[in-house]
Every structure is written in C-alpha cells, then in structure tokens.
C-alpha cells in the first residue's frame, strides 16, 4: 500500500540529499582516479621516449667509435704509404703513387669532417636525453605525490560514502515500495538532485518556470509532481530544509 505523499515526500527529500551526496562523492573519486591514470600515462610516455632516445644515443656513440677506429686505421696506412713513396725509383710510378696518396688523404679528411658533424649531433642528442631524464624524474616524483595524496583522499571518500550508504538504507526502509520504485527511476536519470525545491517559481534542477497550477499541486502534496522540463520531483522548501540555492 502506498504511503500518503505528505508523509513520503519528506523522506524522499532526505533520500535525495543523501543520494546527491553519494553521487558527488563517487564523482570525486572517479575524477581522482582519472587524474592518477592520466599522470601515470604521461609518466610512461616520457619513460618510453627517454628509453628510445637513450637507445638511439648508444647506437650513435657506437657508430662514431667505429668510424673513429676505421679512420685511425686508414691514417696508419696513409702514413705507411707516404713513407713508401721515397722507395720508388721510377719517377712516373712515384708520381702516380703520390696522387693516390693525396686522393686517399682527401677522402680521409672528408670522413673526419663527417665524424665531427656526427659528434656535434651526438652532443645535441646527449643534451636532449639528459633533459628527458630530468623530466622523467620530475614526473615520477609528481606522480608519486599524486598517488599518495589521491590514495588518502579516496579512502576518505569511500569512508564517507559508506556512512551515506548506511543512512540511505535506513531512510529507504521507511518508504513504501511503489514510491521508492518511482524515486529510483528518477534517480537513475538524475543521480544528483532527483528531488528539487521550487525556488522563485522555477524548478531548482533545470530552472524551468513552474506554472501557477503546478505550484498549487506541489503545495497540496496530494501526489508526486514532476517538472515538465527535467522530470525531477518538485517540492516546496520550508525554513530549515537547508536547500541549496
């Protein structure tokens, strides 16, 4: 059997306030969890970038070392070939060998120039890797700080939500199943403020103007009156209701 609206409405108002508080607590928890997830994703992205650049740096260093080794070997061979020039007795052969040595020296100078350019690029890459390493360390510290802070706040939110759940169970047990089912359908659509007070002649949820005839229906409390704009249940606040402006 349904309870008279005049009796059930105050209970539904209390239930609405509790459910609104619960919805806000859960929304805050979700926001914190999303912030933590975003922070961790940014950290992982920085770490991946750092590792990739660090790997490229090691490859570049190894390549330069190999180039320097080859240049040193070619230089040694070039020195030996220059020494050998004086041993040629045939002038034409000596001139031909001289040209070959000069050509080899020119090629070697080009290789050395390219190594110098590579070393400048290496320095720039080393700087970039160092900056990334600093950024990773900073992001890791900020992420840990956020984790510690969020963990404590989430625990607090869950504790408060548990308290509200207890209050909700107590109030809901006093409401008949028919009115409770109607309320739950509205709450599924509007988790925050399923019941709203009429203020200045407007719905406190969507701010749609409430007509005079509907105001009379709300004041009589003969039935649950829903806003034509948002379908929330309307009620008239009384002094001490603590309705949010």
Per-position DSSP letters for 201-231, written without gaps between them? TEETTT-PBPPHHHHHHHHHTSSPPBPTTT-
Q: What is the dihedral of CA 78, 81, 86, 88, to 10 degrees?
A: -150
What's the pLDDT band for 239 if we cut at 50, 70, 90? low
Contact 12, 176 (CB under 8 A): no
For residue 198, the cross-strand partners are 203
Residue 62 has pLDDT above 90, yes or no: yes
CB burial class (10 A; 0-12, 13-18, 19+) of residue 93? exposed
- 98 touches 47 (CB < 8 A): no
For position 238, what pLDDT does the model report? 77
pLDDT at 1: 59
Output DSSP code: residue 200. T
Domain 21-172 has CATH 3.30.40.230: no
Report, as an integer, the average pLDDT of 102-129.
94
- Split at pLDDT 50, 70, 90, the class of 160 is very high
Instruction: Note whether 240 and 202 are within 8 A (CB).
Output: no
183 neighbors 194 (Cβ within 8 angstroms): yes
Q: Where are the domains of the chain?
A: 21-172
Q: What span, in angstroms and rounded, lies between the C-alpha atoms of 227 and 193?
A: 12
Whether 243 has a pLDDT exceeding 50, the answer reads: no
* φ, ψ of residue 221 in degrees (nearest 5): 55, 40
93-to-83, 86, 101 alpha-carbon distances in Å: 15, 11, 12
| Tens digit of each residue's pLDDT (9 = 90 or more) over 173-197 | 999 999 999 999 999 999 999 999 9
Above 70 in pLDDT, residue 161?
A: yes
pLDDT of residue 244: 40
Q: Residues 6 or more apart from 27 whose CB is under 8 A from it?
A: none
d(C-alpha 173, C-alpha 153), whole Å: 30
pLDDT value of position 242: 44
Q: Please count the other Cβ atoms lying within 10 Å of the Cβ belonging to residue 231.
A: 15
Q: What is the pLDDT of residues 2-58, one digit of tens each?
A: 788 889 999 999 999 999 999 999 999 999 999 999 999 999 999 999 999 999 999
N residues, the chain: 245
| Ranges of H-type helices in 86-194 | 91-172, 177-189
Chain position carrying tokens 């539904």: 12
pTM of the model: 0.71
pLDDT in tens, 123-140: 999 999 999 999 999 999
């Amino acid at each position: 059997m349904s309870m008279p609206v005049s009796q059930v409405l105050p209970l539904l108002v209390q239930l609405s306030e509790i459910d609104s508080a619960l919805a806000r607590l859960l929304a805050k928890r979700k926001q914190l969890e999303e912030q933590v997830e975003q922070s961790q994703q940014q950290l992982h992205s920085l770490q991946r970038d750092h590792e990739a650049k660090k790997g490229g740096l090691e490859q570049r260093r190894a390549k330069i070392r190999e180039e320097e080794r080859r240049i040193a070997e070619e230089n040694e061979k070039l020195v030996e070939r220059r020494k050998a020039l004086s041993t040629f007795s045939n002038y034409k052969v000596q001139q031909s060998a001289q040209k070959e040595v000069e050509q080899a020296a020119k090629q070697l100078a080009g290789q050395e120039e390219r190594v110098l350019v590579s070393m400048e690029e290496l320095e720039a890459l080393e700087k970039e890797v160092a900056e990334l390493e600093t950024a990773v360390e900073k992001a890791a510290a900020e992420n840990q700080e956020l984790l510690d802070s969020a963990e404590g706040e989430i625990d607090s939110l869950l504790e408060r939500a548990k308290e509200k759940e207890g209050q909700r169970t107590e109030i809901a047990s006093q409401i008949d199943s028919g009115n409770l089912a109607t309320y739950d359908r509205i709450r599924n659509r509007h988790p925050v403020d399923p019941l709203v007070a009429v203020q200045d002649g407007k719905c406190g949820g969507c701010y749609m103007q409430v007509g005079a005839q509907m105001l009379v229906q709300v004041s009589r409390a003969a039935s649950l009156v829903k806003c034509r704009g948002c379908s929330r249940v309307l009620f008239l606040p009384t002094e001490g209701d603590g309705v949010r402006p």
